[in-house]
Every structure is written in C-alpha cells, then in structure tokens.
A and B are shown apart, each in its own frame.
Chain A
Amino acid sequence: MATTTATEAAPNRLRASMLGARVREAGWGYAFAFVPTAVFGLFFIYPLGYAVYISFFHWGILGKTAPGTGTFNYAKVIHDPVFHTALKNIGEYTVAVVPLEMTLGLGLALLINQKIRGRNFFRSAFYFPSIASSVAIAVIVLYVFSQGGLFNHAFGFGTDWYGNAGTVGWGIVGMNTWTTSGTVMLFYLAALQAIPDDVYEAAALDDTGAWRTFWKITFPLLRPAHFFCLVVFGIGALKLFDQPFIVAAGASGAPNYSTMYPIIYIYNAAFGVSDFGIAAAAGVLYFILIFALTVVERFTVGRQQAA
C-alpha cells in the first residue's frame, strides 16, 4: 500500500510512471511476438502473394525465363488433361477414404469405450499405425502387397496390387484408412466420453437394446464430432502426396497417371519439368477449389449441424 501515499504525494509522477509501465509492457509484447509473427509473415502470408505473382510469368528455378505477363499458365493448367486426371483421382480418393476412415475410427472408438480390461493396450494398438511415418508405412504395405508378398500368399491372388493402374488407387485408399483411423478413433473417443452417463441410464431403464441405443442416442449426439472429422480429415485427404510418391517412386503418376494427384502434379511441374509458373498456377487453382469446397460444406453440412 506504499503506492497510496505516493498517489497523494505526487499524482503527476504516478501517472507518468503508469504510462511508462504501459509503454514498457507494450514494448516487451512486441519484442516477444516479433520473431514468431515475422516467421508467419515471411513464410505464410508473403508466399501467398508471391505464388500468385509467379503464376503470371514464365518462371524457372532461377527466376523469369522468358518475357511476357498474363494468364497463360492458368490456361495451360485448365486445359491440361493430366490436371483433370489429378482432380478426378483426388475426388475419387477423398470420397472413398473419408467415410471409410470415419466408419472404422468410430467402430474402434466404440470398442475401446466398453468397460473392459486392457482398454489402454487396445487403444495404443489401434493408434500405433498413425504414429509411424508415411514412408515406412508405404514401404511396408508395398512389401505385404507385392506380387510374391504375404497378402497374395495368404489369399491366393497373383496381382501386383500397387503396380496395376486398376488397383493402385484403392490400394492407397486402403493404406490410409488403416493408418488414419487410429487418429479418427481418438477424436470419437473424446466425444463419446463427453456424453453424460445419465443419457444411457435413461435408455437402460427403458430396456432399450444396444443397437437401438446407438442409432437413436449415441450417433446423433456425436454430430459435432462427425462434422469435425469430415472437415479435418476431408481437408487432410485433399493434401495426399507422400503415399503416391513412394508407390510410384516419383511424381510421374505411374502407372498410366493412376497415381497422379494435384500435389504430385504441382511437384512434377516444378521439379520434373522446371516450370514454376505452371506449378504456382496449379497451386492457386487448387487452393481456390478447396476453399470453395470448404465454403459449400459450411453452408450445407455445417448448417444442418447447427440446426
């Protein structure tokens, strides 16, 4: 309470020192926030504009390669049949993989959520494929499903699952369903544990069966989790890169463009063909497409979820 006497004695000096304290606090605030904010500005905000800029030029590794400004890169990408294939492939992949991941993830979460011994063991076991690196997983799966591999041996097939244009897309769907469902499970588990017990007690008093309890009570109550997973894992699916790159040993899209996805296309334009203008234009177009999809999702699924 020494300050009280100071207030009475010298109000002006106190006001000045309070102002000084506020200036000092602001100074430290800027100092603390400066480096992280600068990193975000330099490596997130600035590249956004720079990507758009590059997309209007002929651009190689070291800069502009030919005179001319215009939308020619966009025209090329939009009319490129390989880009169309990439969009078709990623569309099919996402529509297949997201429901599969969510179904399996929810199934695993329901199993784990039972009151039984060894829950933690099973939770770790189901989550384990999610922590392994995409390269290691892809390489292991390529081995198991190779022509003379374990899968063909056990089930009597002779197919080279990941070397065949007809099956490789499904192979990548299967691989990522296996590794991502563990993460989906964690989110559903958190949502399941947030449902209060008395909801189930009411159902138990009415002697409602387990199947009916799930569809009438649990599933609708998980609606926020469904929406969250749809958005998060939907956007995650659209970023597919590592697995097709490992499967095809590069960004060629082999065999026959069946492993060609948008980010593989962007990578190949930049580091295969050295046309950074095309790569930037494809990146901008794909970003706009994802953004539009997100907005549509907000206004359809999102509105239902709010209602």
Chain B
Amino acid sequence: MTAQTPIVQAKPYIPGRARSEVVRKVLLYAIMLAVAAVFFVPFLYTIVTAFKSIPDSVNVGLPHPWTTSAWHLVWTQYDFPTYIKNSLFLAAVVVSCNLFLSALGGYAFARLRFPGRELLFLLVLGTLMVPDQLRLIPIFVMIVHWGLFGSFWSYILINLASAVNLFFMRQYFLTIPRDFEEAAKLDGAGYFKTFWRVMLPLALPATAALAILQFQGVWNDFFWPLILFGQGNPDHYTIQLGLAELRFTYTTLWPEIAAGSIIAIIPVLIVFLAFQRFFVSGVVSAGVKG
C-alpha cells in the first residue's frame, strides 16, 4: 500500500475522480453486503424456524408465538445428547491419535535416516490417490470379518493416521533448524524425548491448524459413520447421522430439523470463529476437505 501511494499522488488531478471513487466504494459494499445476505438468509431462516411451533412452521415470518419446544424435543425425545457425545468422543480420540501418529511419522520421514525411507514415503504419498469409493467395500468386509462392525473402534482404526497430515507435518519439520535437535542431543535426550519435548512444541502452529481441520472433518463426516454405524445402530449414531435420521423419519417436522441442524453446525462454528487464522492457512496449505 505504501509503495502505491506516490503513484496515486503523481496522477494529474481529474475533476470528478474523487466522487467516482466514492461511488465505486459504495457499490462495492452494496455488492458484498448483498452476497453476504444471500449466503446468510438460509441460516437466519433456519434459526427463526427452530423457535416456531409445528403448525406455525409453514408460515414464513417471525415465530408467533416464540417457543423452545423444538429444542426441548430434540434434546429429550430424539436423543441428540447421545449423538453429540458420540461425535465429540470420536473427534477427541481421532484428533489426538491421528495428530500424534502423523507427527511421529512426519518427523521420522523428515529427519531420521533409515534404509528404504524414500520408498516408504512414496507409498505414503501414493495413498492420497486411493479414493474412498474403492476402499469402501474391502474395508467394510475387513471390519465385519474382524468383528468390529458397529463398534467405535472401526472408525478410530481407519482414521488412525492420514497421509495429508503426515505430509504436512513432515514439510513443517523440514523448516525447523537442526540446531534445536543438536542441542537436545548434547543434553543427552533420546530420539523420542527430542521429538516429544523439543520438535513437537516447535511444530505447534502446524499441529494446531491440522487439529482444527481434523476436528471439523470428524464432526462433519457423514460417509464413514453411515457405512460403519448407519445400519440400525442408533446408540452409535454421530450427530450427522442423527440429523439425517431425524429428517428421513419426520420429513416435515421443520422446527425440530432446524434445531438439529443448528446443533450440528455450532461446534464447528465456534472453533472457526476462535481459530480463523489457522483455518484459512490450514485449508490453503493442507488441501481441501472432501
């Protein structure tokens, strides 16, 4: 911005330019507010509906009267506390295991020398090419065969590590100067201690970004929970499965469905608002959600 200032000043004075600049700004704000409104109206409409009674939900305006009965029903009758608990449990276990193992592997591939390292790393990158629609059938068959079908272990197991996270951590470890490890080694720290006490804390920004994205991924995941818990196993339903079930069973119970959707969005929204910076940098550098 500072580099541009002299050029703007060097321009000859043109009558009306200042006014056209104001018009441009106003127009720009108008467009942006309009787009933002279009983006937000469906959410606002949903929030309003969640406070309506069922007969009132066919009307478009504000609730008349306001009621929290939909929230009450979702909480007591449709088992949303269980769904939330299941989703939070899976998210907590998967985020911690996946990040620990991906960081550990990423560190090994970045810094430790062992025969076959490059070949193994190629194998890790190759897994990025294997799509879910191809893994779906064999993984389901394996899970059933191992007797893990319908248990939380199945979901945790297939999400124990991910190539994207490992790759991202490796790239990050490569940017950390070797001096830190050498200092740790002089202090007599072993390999694991060096990783755990020195390198992992230094990689905190990368780990935080990945943790946020991973949390969002597990909380929003519909496909794998549907495959693993979706075949009539309601006590294992995640929040997204529960919401889908609510919609499939009670197609037009709009206030309850609206309240359920808001519950399904809010935790990710909170994390997003709290860690926006990580979110943006994480999405751009780690890739896209499926």
User: Could you tell me which A residues sit within 8 Å of B by CB distance?
Assistant: 22, 24-30, 32-33, 35-37, 39-41, 43-48, 50-51, 54, 59, 61-63, 108, 111, 114-116, 120, 122-136, 139-144, 146, 148, 150, 153-154, 178, 183, 186-187, 190, 197-198, 200-201, 204-205, 232-233, 236, 239, 241-242, 245-246, 249-250, 262-263, 266-267, 270-271, 276, 279-280, 283-284, 286-287, 290
Contacts and interface: CB of A to CB of B under 8 A. Distances in A.
Given A26-B112, A35-B101, A132-B268, A143 B222 contact: no
B132 A153 contact: no
B109 interface: yes
A135 B104 contact: no
Contacts of B268: 131-133
The 5 lowest CB-CB distance pairs between A and B, nearest first, are: A29-B114, A29-B112, A36-B105, A32-B108, A50-B138
Contacts of B66: none
B198 interface: no
Contacts of A124: 272-273, 276
Contacts of A139: 243-244, 247, 257, 260-261
A62 B113 CA distance: 43
A270 B254 contact: no
A134 B222 contact: yes
Interface stretch (B71-79, B88-96, B123-131, B203-211): B123-131
B138 A54 contact: yes
B113 A29 contact: yes
Size category, B interface: 35 or more
A144 B257 CA distance: 12
Contacts of A120: 276
A276 B132 CA distance: 15
Contacts of A154: 60
A135 B244 contact: yes
Contacts of A239: 131-133, 290
Given A44-B127, A45-B127, A201-B4, A287 B133 contact: yes
B139 interface: yes
B42 interface: yes
Nearest to B31: A111
A242 B240 CA distance: 11
Nearest to B276: A124
Nearest to A182: B39
A98 B167 CA distance: 27
B265 A132 contact: yes
Contacts of A148: 58
A135 B36 contact: no
Contacts of B252: 146
Contacts of A125: 36, 39-40
A143 B46 contact: yes
Contacts of B115: 26
A44 B257 CA distance: 36
B283 interface: yes
B222 to A, nearest CB: 5
Contacts of A276: 137, 140-141
A40 B123 contact: yes
A142 B42 CA distance: 10
A143 B258 contact: yes
B123 A41 contact: yes
Contacts of A30: 108, 114
B133 A286 contact: yes
Contacts of B191: 24-25, 28, 32
A47 B243 contact: no
Given A28-B112, A186-B283, A131 B135 contact: no
B257 A143 contact: yes
11 contacts: A35-B101, A36-B124, A43-B135, A122-B36, A131-B268, A134-B222, A136-B262, A139-B243, A143-B258, A197-B4, A236-B290
Interface string B1-24: 101100110000000000000000
A236 B287 CA distance: 11
Interface in B51-101: 58, 60, 101
A39 B101 contact: yes
Contacts of B4: 197, 200-201, 204
Contacts of A150: 41-42, 45, 60
Nearest to B29: A116
B113 A47 contact: no
A37 B244 contact: no
B32 to A, nearest CB: 5
A250 B142 CA distance: 24
Given A37-B120, A122-B32, A187-B284, A25 B113 contact: yes
A163 B126 CA distance: 40
B34 to A, nearest CB: 11
Given A43-B158, A131-B272, A284-B134, A136 B31 contact: no
B152 interface: no
A251 to B, nearest CB: 10
A48 to B, nearest CB: 6
B60 to A, nearest CB: 5
A33 B36 contact: no
Interface in B235-290: 240, 243-244, 247-248, 251-252, 254, 257-258, 260-262, 264-265, 268-269, 272-273, 276, 279-280, 283-284, 287-290
